[in-house]
Structures are given as C-alpha cells and as structure tokens.
Amino acid sequence: MSDLTELTAGQLLDGYRTGAFSPVEAVRAVVERAERIQPEVNAFVLLTTEEALARARRSEGRWLRGEPRGRLDGVPVTVKDLLLMRGHPTLRGSLTVSDRGTFEEDAPSVARLREHGAVFLGKTTTSEYGWKAVTDSPRSGVTRNPHDPARTAGGSSGGAAAAVALGAGPLALGTDAGGSIRIPASFCGIFGLKPTYGRVPLYPASAFGTLAHVGPMTRAPADAALMLDVIGVPDSRDWSALGPAPGSYSEALIGGVRGLRVAYSPSLGGQVAVRPAVAEAVRRAVERLAALGAYVTEADPDFADPVDAFHTLWFSAAAHVVQPLGPGRRELLDPGLREIAGRGARHSALDHLAAVDVRVELGRRMGRFHESYDLLVTPTLPITAFEAGAEVPKGSRHRRFTGWTPFTYPFNLTQQPAATLPVGHDADGLPIGLQLIAARHRDDLVLRAAHALYEAGAASPGPRVRPAGG
C-alpha cells in the first residue's frame, strides 16, 4: 500500500471507491503524521484524534454499503482556528479569548464539509486574529516551515499550510484578508486559493471585514476545485455571500489555457524588487503557459501601491477588534497587534472613507484591465521564507508585513480570485510561488490555469518534505 498521507483527496476517494483502502486506514495514517510533525512545526492548536477515528469508522461503513455521504466522505481536513467548529473553542490565537462555552455552531464552510462527510483532524494555528503574515501568537507560539524549521511557515494560515505540506491531511480551510492563504502556501510549497469575495460564506464576520476571504489549501488545484464545489454555496448567515456558483469548478478544470490572454507582470511595473531565484522560477512557469497555448504578454496593471489605504482599513479593523478589552486584557495581546490597533484608533471616519475611495478606484482599474486580459500572473511573494518568529526579514527596512507582501494585499482590496502554486525552489530548497489572478467571479479561470500547469509538470515545490522521524 502506498503512503496514504501522500495522496490527494481525489486519490483517497478513488481508493475508498475501489476498496483499495478504507477511511479508517487513511485517517489513522494522517493522525499519526499530524502527531509526529506537531513537536517540530507546531501546526495545530487542537488535534481531535478520537473524534476523527470515530467519524472515519462511520464513513467506512457507508462506503461498504455503497452509500457515501456527499463528495468528501472520509477525507481528512483541518480548520484554521479563526473559523467556528462545533464542539470545540475557536481561540483565534489570543489569550484574550475564553476557552469556556458549549460551542454549538459551525462556520458555513465547516458546516458544508461536515455535510459532505469530511473528517476533521483538528484546528490549525494562526497569528492573533490573523493580523499578520507570519504564524506566531501569544497563545500558540511559533509555527515553523516544513522545509526548514528555522524559517517561518508564513501566515496567517501557517498551520494549515505546514499540515498539508507534511501530509497531515490533504485539505485545509484557511482565511485570507491580505494574503493569509497565499503567503503560507507559497512559503510551504502547496496550492492555495483565495476565491472571489463572498464565494465562500463567512460567519461570524471577519475582524477585517470585506477584505477577508475563506478558501481551500491543498496539494493540487483539482482538490481545491472539489473543495470549492462543496464550500462555495450560499449560507443565510452571511449577508454578503454570493448566490449559487455558475457551474462546477471541478468540471471547469478540463478547459486548459489555450487561447487565454495572460498578462505577466514580473514586478508590478518596477514597484517591487524580486529576488533573482524567484523571478527566474516564475518566468519559467510563464513560458510553460505560453507553450500550452496561452497568449502571454508582459504587461502591468495600472495602479500604484495601495498600501496606505490598506493600512488605514487594516489598522482600523484591529482597533475595532481590541476595543472591548480593558487595559489589563490588552497587555495580553501580541505587541504588534496592540501597536497597529493604537494607530487605527486615531483614524477618523473620513480617513476610512478615503481608503474606501482608493479601493473603489483600484477595483475599477482592475476591472478594465481584465477586459484585455483573462489572467494576471505575478510572483506570489518577492522572497522565500525567512527566519521564524519575526514579522519581517532580518535587516529589512520595513516594520510591518506589508513591506514584503506587495503582490498579495492589493487583490484583497479588489476582492478578486487569486491563487498561488509552487513553481520551484531557491538554492536553500525553499519553495517559490507563482500567483494567478482573474476578474471577480472567474475563479474557474484561475483553477483551470493552475491545473494545466500541474498537469504539465510545471508546478513543483522542490524536494518532498518529511516529518521528523519519518
């Protein structure tokens, strides 16, 4: 029998269908892997081992009767600890959140996965309230990169990315309000999709409002498409959720890229300094897109860095998060979160509305851009993973994470679908990510192009990582 922790969700389902192995065997292997990696990378805040095995046994019975429940019956999945999961606390990486309660509600995405028979392994680490692009918090400590534990996994969905990269479940739920799916997926060498805003309903609302998206983190785009088919349906609890998807994202994968108009922007018009190894790996993958039949043009979207507007919205949201806390409770917060919340509290309503104006104009410009181009391709990040426990690389002139994430947060402002896939590695064996962006509601194009690159062998995280002792 092959190593069950190495299989995609699609491969697991094929094995259950043919009887090659059972959900109990798969879940037990994945649980053992999760327990083994935890001391080294710190991907989990909660492992629900006994619950997972009990759900796997029920799934096994359904498969034996030829009555699988939904589209993910028996497939292991993890949930970022910003999303509600029935029966367990959602602590958001914060010592200010109580672990007492009955916890009777699932987030919409978690509820849909449960309805389709997925097996929850546990909850993965996040920065406090998801406020920064690395994963460390006062509650759960530092999450480390599976390729080099001295490096960061990225964030804020770092636990999810590390778990998938190391075989602790083929599927993970993450959130992304400034890059928090794409950044750790890029650093850890997996696939991550930030769907169009509202495609996956979110409840309760994110601390960071309409910047925040929920999406899949997987080893392959086909798994992400399957997962999006399951979680991308309306839920009445989210007033901003989109209506039903226009079709199956899994079925849309077969379209390929022939004839698609692709704009390749290596540095957003010279605004971003990109490391040579990153630039070269992304360029090779873009050349593969052209070889597969896409019409590739080097072209930059017409916008200046919207970081000031993003900071206004981000810092104001942080101030709102901590507003209910008294001075004593605020001392428990991550110092960086406390600092940006203080800055955000000084913003006026007019400051906020001015930032919204910038956002509206940016969305207009990108809407016009996509009249000419089906896809925009950029590096996901200009760098590879740096030292763990730091918000910015050593020696950086930047204080905040936005200094090294210039390719990600603009597309939270515009609410567009954006994905990252691994296209190589640097001299230290650290993964490099390519970002694919489409117009709002065209998640199918992002998934199609990513799948085409995977099928052509152009997507590779570099050396396969193994957990300590295995």
| Active-site residue, from 59, 94, 140, 156 | 156
Q: Judge whether 80 counts as a catalytic residue.
A: yes
| Residue 300: CA count within 13 A, CB half-sphere | 12
What residue has token string 């960086």? 336
Strand 171-176, strand 191-194: pairing? unpaired
Distance CA 279, CA 423 (A): 11
| Active-site residue, from 140, 157, 180, 460 | 180
Distance CA 240, CA 428 (A): 43
Distance CA 323, CA 311 (A): 18
Q: Judge whether 59 counts as a catalytic residue.
A: no
Residue 378 CB partners (closer than 8 Å, separation 6+):
264, 265, 266, 268, 282, 407, 434, 435, 437
Phi, psi of 16 (to 5 degrees): -65, -40
Distance CA 73, CA 14 (A): 11
| Cα distance between the two ends of the chain | 17
Edge-first strand listing for the sheet containing 44-47: 44-47, 119-124, 76-80, 171-176, 213-218, 191-194, 418-425, 431-438, 375-379, 261-264, 295-298
| Active-site residue, from 22, 80, 206, 265 | 80
Q: Judge whether 250 counts as a catalytic residue.
A: no
Q: Which residues carry out catalysis?
A: 80, 156, 180
